[in-house]
Amino acid sequence: MAARAAGSIAAIILGVLLVVVAVRSLAAEDLVVPSNGVTAGGRRDSPVDHLDPSALSSRARLQQWPGSAEPPTRPSLALGGGENGEQSSNGKRLVEEWRSDRSTVQDILQEPKMRRGIATLPAPAANILVQPQGRSWRQWHNEQIFYGGGLYIFGLSLLIALFLTWRGRISIREGESGQTIERFSPFERANHWLTAVSFILMALTGLIILYGDALLRPWLGASAYAALARASAFLHVTFAVPFFLGVLVMIVLWIGQNIPERIDWQWLKRGGGFLSDTQENPPARKFNAGQKLVFWGVVLGGLFLTATGIGLMFPFFWSGYTGMQLAQAMHAAVGLLMIGLIIGHIYIGTVGMQGAFEAMWSGHVDRNWAKEHHSLWYRSAAQRAEPSSTARRRSYPIVAFASGSAIAVLFALAMVAIYQAASISEPELANRTYPRSVHLEP
């Protein structure tokens, strides 16, 4: 009953969030307006505040030939710094004004299309003059993926909360037997937690990079949020390595038991027996069809995210604009899909089903749970294993979890060291980027 009550409360909250996101996505106008400085507590900046408004215009007329313009008015304040400006209150009107002269310049506008040439610079993509597709990528980034991700994650969570309200926690029908059987070895569990810790950290940091600007920055302020975003980007990259390692080990450990079979189809058709207490559960081996879907989702999604992630770490190394834009958009989209998959996985492994969490935590599941959900696996495993009710206590579940997490952190730290060695140090970069000496005229 408590589970159903929690489910209904969660469903109400998620329903409200879903409506908020849906309304915002419909009302969204992705338009950039002049703000004269960064928003959320940044410095105000308007370089022309103290200027006579006609100064720049008369200067522009000097470019006419023959030069017929009057000498430009002297700026009232030269070097030395004027007052910084206030945020423009009518930015949207300004943008409309800027666009309104389109008809008057129609005669000199060209067809907006990709234009390539040659450039003498060794920089990537330097030979491309115009790539109007950047604006399409921006639209995908700011609209389809941004709001699609919100609708997908809240929508999926709402479905899960509604399921919990309707079905309650799936219990072991015959009750706990008190006798356990080993389901996952300490090595399997450590590897699971290694992958899980890395994935959750990458999911959170990825969500910060995608949504933090809209959700956190107004609360944190510009500088604090920039520091958080920088840390997020760095953690996202470092934990990719233990995650990839975990996925590789997972493939080796579990791929043999995750090949799709005929009984998986039966399992799916009967909803895994999740839908009612009275119906007999469909038979399953060590992994049922739902778990196989999670396995293949994690393996294929994880490999795809690793591949596109490496592509993004070395920009323009393997591909041009289209490839980079596609890689970024697909990385975000597949990452969001995987976050949804893992939300479902975490739900059924903890709140959703009695006895399921023990499988990955202590490695030992109740015999009645095994009989009900993995009948075929239980039949063969029970013959091999000795009945034991104390095994769960002796398995030190925290050890597998802690060692998995520790390995994730160790690999991340190793990657930090490698990145530090491979990238240019901050002081050296400062010398490369900024001039050593400054010659300001008095």
Partner 1 sequence: MARMKFLCDADRCIECNACTTACKNEHNVPWGINRRRLVTIGDGEPGEKSVSIACMHCTDAPCIAVCPVSCIYQTDIGVVLHDKDLCIGCGYCFYACPFGAPQYPQATNFGSRGKMDKCTYCAGGPEANGSEAEYRKYGRNRIAEGKLPLCAEMCSTRALLAGDGEIISQIYRERTLKRGYGSGAWGWATAYYGSERGS
Interface positions, 103-122, toward partner 1 (CB under 8 A) = 104-105, 107-112, 115-121
Nearest to 408 by CA among 207, 208, 244: 244
Tell me which residues in 401-430 interact with partner 1 (CB under 8 A): 419, 422-424, 429
Least distance CB 249 / partner 1 (angstroms): 25
Contacting residue, 12, 19, 23, 57, with partner 1 by CB under 8 A: 57
176 or 213: whose CB is closer to partner 1? Answer: 213
Least distance CB 156 / partner 1 (angstroms): 24
Q: Phi then psi for 353, rounded to 5 degrees? A: -140, 125
Least distance CB 385 / partner 1 (angstroms): 47
Least distance CB 308 / partner 1 (angstroms): 12
Q: What angle do CA 420, 425, 429 make, to 5 degrees?
A: 140
74 or 269: whose CB is closer to partner 1? Answer: 74
Beta carbons of 132 and 114 less than 8 angstroms apart: yes
Distances in whole angstroms, Cα of residue 91 to Cα of each of 35, 86, 88, 140 = 7, 12, 6, 24
Least distance CB 346 / partner 1 (angstroms): 26
Q: Is 148 in the site for partner 1 (CB under 8 A)?
A: no
Least distance CB 307 / partner 1 (angstroms): 15
Contacting residue, 66, 71, 81, 256, with partner 1 by CB under 8 A: 81
73 or 388: whose CB is closer to partner 1? Answer: 73
Residue 327: CB atoms within 10 Å:
19
Tokens of 179: 């006798």
Contacting residue, 383, 386, 438, 442, with partner 1 by CB under 8 A: 438
Q: How far apart are CA 90 and CA 101, in angstroms?
A: 18
Q: Is 398 in the site for partner 1 (CB under 8 A)?
A: no
Least distance CB 28 / partner 1 (angstroms): 12
Measured in Å, how far apart are the chain's first and last C-alpha atoms? Answer: 78
Q: Which residues of 279-291 are buried (b: 16+ CB within 10 A; e: fewer)?
A: eebbbbbbbbbbb
51 or 346: whose CB is closer to partner 1? Answer: 51
136 or 276: whose CB is closer to partner 1? Answer: 136
For partner 1, which stretch binds (CB under 8 A), given 12-20, 169-177, 217-225, 292-300?
Answer: 217-225
Contacting residue, 18, 21, 158, 237, with partner 1 by CB under 8 A: 237
Residue 187: CB atoms within 10 Å:
14
Q: Is 68 in the site for partner 1 (CB under 8 A)?
A: no
Q: Is 435 in the site for partner 1 (CB under 8 A)?
A: yes
For partner 1, which stretch binds (CB under 8 A), given 137-145, 155-163, 270-278, 336-344?
Answer: 137-145
Residue 322 φ/ψ region, left for φ over 0, alpha for ψ in the -120 to 50 degree band, beta for the rest: alpha
Binding mask 22-51 for partner 1 (x = CB under 8 A): --------xxxxxxxxxxx-xxxxxxxxxx
Nearest to 182 by CA among 379, 386, 403: 386
Q: How far apart are CA 282 and CA 186, in angstroms?
A: 28
80 or 178: whose CB is closer to partner 1? Answer: 80
Q: Phi then psi for 130, rounded to 5 degrees? A: -135, 135
Binding mask 356-385 for partner 1 (x = CB under 8 A): ------------------------------
Contacting residue, 1, 26, 70, 80, with partner 1 by CB under 8 A: 80
Nearest to 327 by CA among 140, 112, 123, 115: 140
For partner 1, which stretch binds (CB under 8 A), given 191-199, 204-212, 279-287, 350-358?
Answer: 204-212
Nearest to 356 by CA among 340, 375, 370: 370
Nearest to 153 by CA among 342, 25, 317: 342
Q: How far apart are CA 194 and CA 245, in angstroms?
A: 9
26 or 252: whose CB is closer to partner 1? Answer: 26
Tokens of 330: 């697909």
Q: Is 262 in the site for partner 1 (CB under 8 A)?
A: no
Beta carbons of 369 and 356 less than 8 angstroms apart: yes
Count the residues of the shown chain that bind partner 1, applying the rule CB under 8 A: 117
Beta carbons of 50 and 82 less than 8 angstroms apart: yes
For partner 1, which stretch binds (CB under 8 A), given 20-28, 261-269, 320-328, 338-346?
Answer: 320-328
Q: Is 92 in the site for partner 1 (CB under 8 A)?
A: no
